[in-house]
Structure 1
Amino acid sequence: MTRPAPRVVETLNAALHRLFEERPALHLLGEDVLDPYGGAFKVTRGLSTRHPDRVFGTPISEAGITGVAGGLALAGDQAIVEMMFGDFAALAFDQVLNLISKSVTMYGDRVPMPVVVRCPVGGNRGYGPTHSQSLQKHFLGVPNLALYETSPFHDPYAQLAEGLDRGPAMLFEDKVLYTRRMFRDGAVDEHHGYALLGGPAGWAHVSPVDGTPADVVLICPGGTAHRGLDAARLLRARGLTAHVLVPARLYPPDLEPVLPLLAGARLVAVAEESTEGGTWGTEIAARVHTRLWSHLRAPVLLLSSADSVVPTAPHLEAGVLLGAERIAAEIEAAAARPLPPRAPAALPVAAAGTDAVAPAAGEPRAAVPESAEPLGGVPVAVPKLNNNDTAYLVLRWLADEGVHVEEGDPLVEVETSKAIEEITAPAAGYLRVRAAEDTEVGVGEPLAELLAERPAVRAPGTPVPTGPGPRVTRPESAAAPAPPPAEGPGATRTQVLDRAQQGTAAVVTRAHREVPAAFAAVEVTADAVLARLRTLSDETGAEVGLPEAVVKAVASAHPAFPHLFGSLQDERTVRLADTVDIGVTMDAGNGLYIPVLRDCAARSLADLSDDLMDFRMKAFRAEFTAGELSGGALSVSLNTEPGVLLVQPIVMWPQLCMVSVGGPLTRLVLADGVPAPTTVVTLGLAYDHRVVNGRDAVAFLRTVADALHDPEQLVKLID
């Protein structure tokens, strides 16, 4: 089995250990960095044990720590400073600005200043206003000070070594990256790969594996890299190809290796988590405009978080911080605007000895000049919303024929096999409907047009032109919202279901209508697995719990019960799954989602934990992509709150089974004749009785239960 890539925190820790072995004059200073604690985020674990005379746990004085580091450097040593949270670097700003950066050149000769200040930064952890900021922009432009940021593509050893050698430097580490896996071997996912440009501390260039040139180049430092990748996937489904650039060094930036890519794109965008104003993105935009002004099709698009402190409450935090959906939406809107023709001036040379930029990269694939109005208006086509579907049902037009809509206005609701999706206007214009309600329209087929002038009113009885899909009956759960409730004494109180709940209603109605489901349950003792999971969490730094263990146990049963992970193709044929992709229920109070964990059989518990943590945050924000909600071979309903005895799940068509997990319960059992408490959970299985019989269902549950409590199988499952 291929060993999973290390997490970012592990590569940081390994980089520090390597540097300490190679550099006998290197010291580390910080609060709570000594073993066994090993730092607030476990980056320094093991260092004080191996190098007790060079790792110093310090008082709570960021200015003092940084000043001592500067003194060590002036005395000929080297120092790495750990800020417990990057927010506290503000307290050390005077030492950074007026000591370590100025000491390099204010004594009449260049003085080595090998100091790196490490700063955990960023939000999406619920840590609140003073522990979640991205302060990179406040250190831009300080003479002699280099700025780096960790990423899932770059070896932090190269960043730290370069920072010490050219010193002084700061390394910003987005906290959301610590538990994420590094990318390696040039692979990102099935559609994207990456290459490093400009050396190990240069740029990671993520592009489609099929070589499609860039419509959009999206520059994403550090913790926004995954959001940039998610945005690229969203844009891919909407017909735009995005290449993503991730820098290892923020300042001074070296644009030479990426100039050809930037010059050839339809649009360049920079996405960062800091608030707008004086940002790293504006620095990049200024340099790109200076170098490539005659070749840019539009100004560089700058994307930042909202102008606000970072709230503690997850739903408020999600509203402030920049997310993948907003990145994709703003890029899509900017890319839809008419573009001027490309200037005929000579293209820039990327670097000495390299070829000139190729002008064809990223050109729009239009049959008419870009400055002209598209034939018949701006088309509104059906996007790819769900990998399982090739057509969707038009439920309800949200705007009337002939009205003027603005870019981004809701136009129409369509139903997929998973949910109800809202499609918005890609541009401003007068609406001309092309697909009637209650018809199915295939992916890529026209829904409407947005015209520059008001269209003629259709004669009464004139049918709306539609695609080739047949007319179908609208399900009750997708009907138009109920009229407002009557007011006054004695009026009946009502509640109108929101769109998310309507989508859930449509899916479960279909499940009940089409799947003859049965149910079985077993009780499993959980003391051993819970104890081992606590130890694993301490060892890895990942929050590994019962949900991850159950998912892994279910995946381990796949070889013995492959038909439970299949789907019915016809009345007697089951299509078996190639990989064990398992959906997990997520409900953060704004709708039920079932995102899919990929290839669960081959991945570690810590790796699955990273994805589940990401899913929980996306559930709070309601920002799942259609791809994340499709393709599961079997689902697990997580109901692990204490006291939950039993949950009977619903088989989600076209799957054949759903496992339910109850909450931990305490039972008294006899151990050597003495009553003793033990922890148990209930595992249930809802199954499609057309394919699965009760004997198989119970055998499957016992196999999963054995993996969770049998000592020998438990070791294999977790280790």
Structure 2
Amino acid sequence: MSKQVMVPTLGESVTEATIGEWLKNPGDPVNVDEPIVSLETDKVAVEVPSPVAGVMGAHAVEVGATVEVGALLATIEDDVAAGENTDVEPREESPAQKQAAPASDGQGARADDGTLEDAAPAQAKIHDPEATQTMSPAVRRAVLEHGVDPTRIKGTGKDGRLTKEDVLAAAENKKAPSSAEAPAPAPAATAATQAPAQGDRREERVKMTRMRQTIARRLKSAQETAALLTTFNDVDMTAVIEAREKFKDTFAKKHDIKLGFMSFFAKAACLALKDLPSVNAQIDGDEIVYFDYVDISVAVSAPNGLVVPVVRDADSKSFAQIEKDIADFGRRAKDGTLTMEDMKGGTFTISNGGVFGGLMSTPIINPPQSAVLGLHRIEDRPVVRDGQIVIRPMMYIALSYDHRLVDGREAVTALKTIKEAIEDPMRMLIDL
């Protein structure tokens, strides 16, 4: 008896997804709720768990195929004990798969990233049931990129699962094998697979992921639909830096989280948005939707692109809770475990390009929102204070906004309010 695994409901208005990666191959043992396939939606990668324990049956669709909600993904043979032999209906392989399959003579097989790796280790990593580990898409990609054996890495994640940091640490510690341990040389590569000589020029074509296609479409739509404009200001970070230095140990001890800059800017933005509701509003057809709450989308870098999970009710949350939410989003973005619910909604966005060293930028709004705050790196610059030239830690901040809804006066005032709150954090405590 077999159990069918269907495409689950993926979230509001999401009707289809792309098969990103099969985490279990036909014949592999499967436990209840163990992920068997990763689906790429417009916003996140979703892992589909097995509804029963048993043995992985046939895959109904191939990697890269588009599937709709409710479509058949695979079958689980739940009447066969895990680890026993089972007859699995073979899938017809595409020409590309047949060419990439490891040959019996040990010739190198081509990995997903275009590099050559030895066929035997690849087979052990992917097809040996006892050595198979469930890995998120980000971890699996790191394994392929760095050429490490995941079965020899001790996972530090939940239930002993590997994290991207585990793979990177293993890659750092990886040493070249001694001559006694060195594998036998593979047969000479053919002209088709031979690595190009130094100085040769080459190019590679890679299909855009569904998430990257969505990012491209939404950002282009924002440019074509919204009347985008950006206003700038600079902020003296002295007061915030001093506050962090003074309270960082006490804050971390009490709340078990570090005090960062993002919570200051989130609370300062809430102060400005309450005073200027249009910056926190959205256009819906010929109507304007005003919100009496602030849900801040925080731009986070993920393996497949930029994602914007939402800190809900940021205006009523403490500094500590905002820091915890953002830290949790960052961890789950790296592991590829963010959900559609995490990304839903949002009335305003904060994007911190400063963590990558950016000095100044014109951030683009996240539709249908009407504004986005861009943060940048902090650097010592000469400024004039009380007629004297002094050195201060300064940051450029930018507010991009939809001029159809937000007037220039409102945008400049909002950015000025954020600047004043950061330079004098007491304003956030007494609502000024």
The equivalences for 1:655-670 within 5 A come to: 655-670=369-384
- SS of the aligned residue for 2:384 comes to strand
1:520 alignment partner in structure 2:
231
The equivalences for 1:323-402 within 5 A come to: 373=1, 377-384=3-10, 386=11, 389-396=12-19
C-alpha displacement of 1:538: 4.1
Give distance in 2, aligned partners of 1:398 and 1:532. Answer: 46
| C-alpha distance 584-577 of structure 1, shift in aligned 2 (>3 A) | same
How far does the alpha carbon of each residue in 1:6-37 deviate from its partner, in whole angstroms, 9 at most, with x for none? xxxxxxxxxxxxxxxxxxxxxxxxxxxxxxxx
State whether structure 2 residue 179 is matched by structure 1 residue 556.
no
* One-letter amino acid of the counterpart of residue 240, structure 2: V
Give distance in 1, aligned partners of 2:19 and 2:386. Answer: 66
Give distance in 2, aligned partners of 1:644 and 1:437. Answer: 37
* One-letter amino acid of the counterpart of residue 273, structure 2: H
State whether structure 2 residue 57 is matched by structure 1 residue 429.
yes
- SS of the aligned residue for 2:377 comes to coil
| C-alpha distance 573-455 of structure 1, shift in aligned 2 (>3 A) | farther
- SS of the aligned residue for 2:374 comes to strand
How far does the alpha carbon of each residue in 1:369-399 deviate from its partner, in whole angstroms, 9 at most, with x for none? xxxx57xx42413233x4xx23333335867
C-alpha displacement of 1:636: 0.6
- SS of the aligned residue for 1:637 comes to strand
Give distance in 2, aligned partners of 1:430 and 1:586. Answer: 36
| C-alpha distance 673-594 of structure 1, shift in aligned 2 (>3 A) | same
| C-alpha distance 505-712 of structure 1, shift in aligned 2 (>3 A) | same
C-alpha displacement of 1:549: 0.4
1:611 alignment partner in structure 2:
325
* One-letter amino acid of the counterpart of residue 377, structure 2: G
How far does the alpha carbon of each residue in 1:337-384 deviate from its partner, in whole angstroms, 9 at most, with x for none? xxxxxxxxxxxxxxxxxxxxxxxxxxxxxxxxxxxx57xx42413233
C-alpha displacement of 1:603: 1.7
C-alpha displacement of 1:664: 1.3
| C-alpha distance 381-715 of structure 1, shift in aligned 2 (>3 A) | closer
When the two chains are superposed, the root-mean-square deviation of aligned CA atoms in Å is 3.9
State whether structure 2 residue 71 is matched by structure 1 residue 446.
yes
Give distance in 2, aligned partners of 1:411 and 1:624. Answer: 16
How far does the alpha carbon of each residue in 1:76-101 deviate from its partner, in whole angstroms, 9 at most, with x for none? xxxxxxxxxxxxxxxxxxxxxxxxxx
State whether structure 2 residue 273 is matched by structure 1 residue 648.
no
C-alpha displacement of 1:660: 0.7
Q: Greater relative contact order (Cα 8 A, min sep 6): structure 1 or 2?
A: 2
2:247 alignment partner in structure 1:
536
* One-letter amino acid of the counterpart of residue 242, structure 2: A
C-alpha displacement of 1:420: 4.7
Give distance in 2, aligned partners of 1:613 and 1:413. Answer: 24
Give distance in 2, aligned partners of 1:657 and 1:702. Answer: 15
1:320 alignment partner in structure 2:
none
How far does the alpha carbon of each residue in 1:306-359 deviate from its partner, in whole angstroms, 9 at most, with x for none? xxxxxxxxxxxxxxxxxxxxxxxxxxxxxxxxxxxxxxxxxxxxxxxxxxxxxx
Give distance in 1, aligned partners of 2:409 and 2:265. Answer: 21
- SS of the aligned residue for 1:666 comes to strand
Give distance in 1, aligned partners of 2:378 and 2:337. Answer: 30
Structure 1: segments with no counterpart, 5+ residues: 1-372, 459-480
TM-score of the superposed pair, with normalisation by structure 1: 0.37
* One-letter amino acid of the counterpart of residue 391, structure 1: V
State whether structure 2 residue 395 is matched by structure 1 residue 685.
no
C-alpha displacement of 1:492: 0.8
- SS of the aligned residue for 2:338 comes to coil
C-alpha displacement of 1:557: 1.9
| C-alpha distance 537-716 of structure 1, shift in aligned 2 (>3 A) | farther
- SS of the aligned residue for 2:360 comes to coil
| C-alpha distance 423-636 of structure 1, shift in aligned 2 (>3 A) | same
Percent sequence identity is: 21
Instruction: Select the residue among 191, 201, 204 that pairs with 1:494.
Output: 204
Give distance in 2, aligned partners of 1:589 and 1:398. Answer: 14
State whether structure 2 residue 214 is matched by structure 1 residue 503.
no
2:411 alignment partner in structure 1:
697
How far does the alpha carbon of each residue in 1:176-208 deviate from its partner, in whole angstroms, 9 at most, with x for none? xxxxxxxxxxxxxxxxxxxxxxxxxxxxxxxxx
How far does the alpha carbon of each residue in 1:586-630 deviate from its partner, in whole angstroms, 9 at most, with x for none? 337775332322211112212322333333433444433333333
- SS of the aligned residue for 1:695 comes to helix
Give distance in 2, aligned partners of 1:698 and 1:430. Answer: 59
TM-score of the superposed pair, with normalisation by structure 2: 0.59
* One-letter amino acid of the counterpart of residue 288, structure 2: V
Give distance in 1, aligned partners of 2:13 and 2:196. Answer: 47
Give distance in 2, aligned partners of 1:674 and 1:681. Answer: 20
- SS of the aligned residue for 2:315 comes to coil
Give distance in 2, aligned partners of 1:601 and 1:675. Answer: 37
* One-letter amino acid of the counterpart of residue 378, structure 1: Q
State whether structure 2 residue 47 is matched by structure 1 residue 419.
no
| C-alpha distance 670-565 of structure 1, shift in aligned 2 (>3 A) | closer
Give distance in 2, aligned partners of 1:410 and 1:508. Answer: 29
Q: Work out whether residues 567 and 575 of structure 1, in 8 Å CA contact, stay in contact via their aligned partners in 2.
A: yes
C-alpha displacement of 1:581: 1.6
Give distance in 2, aligned partners of 1:692 and 1:405. Answer: 58
How far does the alpha carbon of each residue in 1:656-706 deviate from its partner, in whole angstroms, 9 at most, with x for none? 322111111222223333221122211112223343333322222112112
| C-alpha distance 697-503 of structure 1, shift in aligned 2 (>3 A) | same
- SS of the aligned residue for 1:704 comes to helix
| C-alpha distance 411-547 of structure 1, shift in aligned 2 (>3 A) | closer
The equivalences for 1:627-642 within 5 A come to: 627-641=341-355
* One-letter amino acid of the counterpart of residue 662, structure 1: H
Give distance in 2, aligned partners of 1:642 and 1:506. Answer: 23
How far does the alpha carbon of each residue in 1:451-478 deviate from its partner, in whole angstroms, 9 at most, with x for none? 76978999xxxxxxxxxxxxxxxxxxxx
How far does the alpha carbon of each residue in 1:262-320 deviate from its partner, in whole angstroms, 9 at most, with x for none? xxxxxxxxxxxxxxxxxxxxxxxxxxxxxxxxxxxxxxxxxxxxxxxxxxxxxxxxxxx
Give distance in 1, aligned partners of 2:37 and 2:417. Answer: 49
- SS of the aligned residue for 2:354 comes to coil
- SS of the aligned residue for 2:383 comes to strand
Give distance in 2, aligned partners of 1:397 and 1:504. Answer: 13
* One-letter amino acid of the counterpart of residue 645, structure 1: L
May I ask how many residue pairs the two structures share in their alignment? 308
2:311 alignment partner in structure 1:
597
